[in-house]
Amino acid sequence: MKQRKLEMLLEQVEGFDRPNVNLEQYATPALLAAEILHFAYMQGDLEGTVFDLGCGTGMLAIGAKLLGAERVVGYDVDRKALEVAGRNAEKLGVDVEFIQSDIRDIEGHADTVVMNPPFGAQAKGNDRPFLLSALKTSDVVYSIHNCGSHGFISKFIGDARITDWYTTAFPMKRTFKFHKKEVEMIKVEIYRIVR
């Protein structure tokens, strides 16, 4: 499937009903989700089991399944977000398992993790448990982080290594009252990390 076709399908994914600022629930834009997932697909990393950590309403999990992942499991602590994710998967005709879980309690093994973890805007270090869980449960990790995170991530991941990373735009829609603009273009970095 071409990246543009995936993006068009993912534009049907419904966002959060009531996003939680403390969980940093920002919907991953379809454009960015299609970009990161197509990158993973071209690397051959979406063929087996894929975990989406902090899956929210299912954007990355559903996209991984649309691109042919054998098994996809989305994890999130927010039950209401998972209900929306289930509806989204049904609407797009894909079989994705959604599990309510704290990020620190995730068990099992995936070939690949795809995730858009909290950036730590509300509480510094919120992305750390996501990175730890991803490295504990998978061989390859695709993750979105604030621009300028390379030094921190390189150090934090220990023996794992960054094979690819690049900067791109995250069009963040106005989600909370404190946002001033309808859409803010945030520079982010996409990482591919292997153990």
Residue 124 has pLDDT above 90, yes or no: no
For the ranges 12-16, 53-57, 175-179, the lowest mean pLDDT is seen at 175-179
* Sign of the CA dihedral with 41 first, then 45, 48, and 49 last: negative
Q: What does the pLDDT look like over 142-159, one tens digit per residue? A: 999 999 999 999 999 999
**Residue 121 above 60 pLDDT?**
no
- Other CB atoms within 10 Å distance of the CB of residue 152: 15
Determine what percent of the chain is predicted with pLDDT higher than 70. 88
Q: What is the mean pLDDT of residues 5-32?
A: 84
Q: Give the Å distances, CA to CA, from 74 to 71, 152, 161.
A: 10, 26, 24
pLDDT at 122 over 70: no
Assess whether pLDDT exceeds 60 at residue 179. no
What pLDDT, on the 0 to 100 scale, is given for residue 178?
A: 55
Lowest-confidence pick of 15-24, 94-103, 126-135: 15-24
pLDDT tens, position by position, 43-61: 999 999 999 999 999 999 9
Distance CA 47, CA 90 (A): 21
Instruction: Specify the higher pLDDT residue, 114 or 16.
Output: 114
Average pLDDT, the chain: 91
Of all residues in the chain, what percent carry a pLDDT higher than 90?
Answer: 78
Q: What gap in Å lies between CA 180 and CA 185, rounded to an integer?
A: 12
Starting from the edge strand earliest in sequence, which strands make up the sheet with 183-194, in order? Answer: 97-100, 71-76, 49-53, 110-115, 138-146, 183-194, 161-173
151 versus 176: the higher-pLDDT residue is 151
How far is 66 from 51, CA to CA, in rounded Å?
Answer: 14
Is 80 exceeded by the pLDDT of residue 177?
no
DSSP line for 106-131? --S-EEEEEE----SSSSTTTTHHHH
